[in-house]
A and B are shown apart, each in its own frame.
Chain A
Amino acid sequence: MSKTVLEKDKNNLESNEAKAPREKLFHIAKRMDVSLQYKIIVRVISIVTALLMCAFVLNIFKPGKFFTIFSSSFNALTGSTNKFFITLDEFAILLGISIAILPAFKMKFWNLGAEGQILIGGLAAVLVSKYIGPYVPNVLCTILMLIFAIIAGGVWALIPAFFKAKFNTNETLFTLMMNYLAMGFIAFFEQVIDPAHGTIAQLTNGTFPDATDNVKTIIAFVIVVLMTLFMFGYLNKTKHGYELTVVGETRNTAKYIGINVKAVIMRTVVLCGILCGIIGYFTVLKQKSISPNIIGGKGFTAVMIAWLGHMNVVEVIVMAFLVAFITRGSSVAATNVDLGSAFTNITIAIFLITILAFEFFLNYEVHFNKKIFKSKKEVKEVEE
């Protein structure tokens, strides 16, 4: 009798299982420990995939040109002295901006205003060159340009930082809006300086018009290298760097331990602004002018670089180099196969999104439901 009861039970169970909602195929769990080895592997796979995706997209536009993007990228790096310097310039600017926003990001102050801070620094340099330049020697003029660029960038950054510290306003929107304000300022001064054309003519005072672009690129690169070294030390070895990390991690712990959170926020963001001002200065030095679109969205690309570099100086250097590499590569490829300049933007977007998507594997692990897979296997075996 007991046997029949058991069988009945079994039948019941089976019918119930059929009725019950489907079990989940897999579930996702947060990763606690990530070994360096695993991290590097995921990163390499993500970068290779990202490159392949870019090549694939190019292949869609121009069939048969799958490998062009790789050859172009290397061509952009080593093809000629000129091309090399253009790539170096791209790398220097991207790395410079990424490094500049790094302390704010480490403090979890999402400064999207790098672009505005650079523009306003650049504008200050331009105004110095235009209105003070004629009355002072060239060297003094360029020094004054740098000083005013630093002050302007710092003050521009201080505004959102002050409101964040004092009233806890949202820094993301605030800094973003400040970008458009900075652009508006430049458009305004373009009109003031040259009402007829609405652009700022090539500046001569303090911009070393005789020096070649390549020399200026080298100077910019050296400054960025110095900035990077400074930032590495600042974030990892100094009391300031320690304080801003604590503030970024838990504001309450910082408060309990007696860190002046408001002061740290303002100090750190002003440092970002100062570094952005420096970048603004050497942008003006090279372009000898300024316009609202002179940075061309690099402020936002740098945000991605800092984020993908996990706010770590070494990783940021690698990421900045890769992005510069692929930007220049796709730009060369676009000219080679006769595509518009928008192609560059498409490739960067695809490249960054692919790498960002792979972050998932660094943060989470996927567990498949062994039961379902087993039962499917069993079903297959039975069928065979």
Chain B
Amino acid sequence: MQFFFHNKSNRVWLVLIIGLMLFNIWNIVVNTPMVPDQHWAQKIFYVHVPSAWVGFLSYFIVMVAGIMYFIKGDEHWDKVGLAAAEIGTLFISLVLITGPIWATPIWGQPWIWEPRLTTTLILFLIYIGYFMMRAFGGHAERVKRYAASLGIIAFVDVPIIFVSVKFWAPEIQSHPQVEMTSQPPGILIPFLLSLGIFTVLYRLMLKYRIHVIQVNYKRVADV
């Protein structure tokens, strides 16, 4: 099996994304305006929201891969599902870390059961179960089907969890910065840029991870 970065287009993408990411950080730190009463804390949103977007997108891909695995029975979709689950959990962890970092100075405490963060936390716990199933479930071939079905029900559950958590503690507001579309262009444009760069980064990460999983499977199967 070929080394992932022997492929020229992958190399080009890697260099491009490193460049874009450096530009993104510089842009966020230097160019974006300060929000009056939040100062530096607000800037974490340029990372927090794109991470959440990529995380949920990734879990959506886990569901799609699960459905495709059942319809086609093709091993490839299992690898896509596993790769997306791993990367999704990475970004969801970032959301759960950056959220409290923002909340500590603004709300005075790291965690107040804000509905979006709560939904994310519940989803994170479901995915810990998912990886436990992958690790402790038994025969790898059997576990693939269980993992695919878990990926499907986890994402199907997301809207239900979100609605219930939202009405559970209505006195807690969603964080105001999430309504990014109503922001002035000075904030909106760098934000959308960051969102785009994170998505491109995610695409390369997913491709790389699928490649690694394929190589690993081959190695185990050859022994």
Same complex for A and B? Answer no
List the interface of chain B (C-beta within 8 A of A): none
List the interface of chain A (C-beta within 8 A of B): none
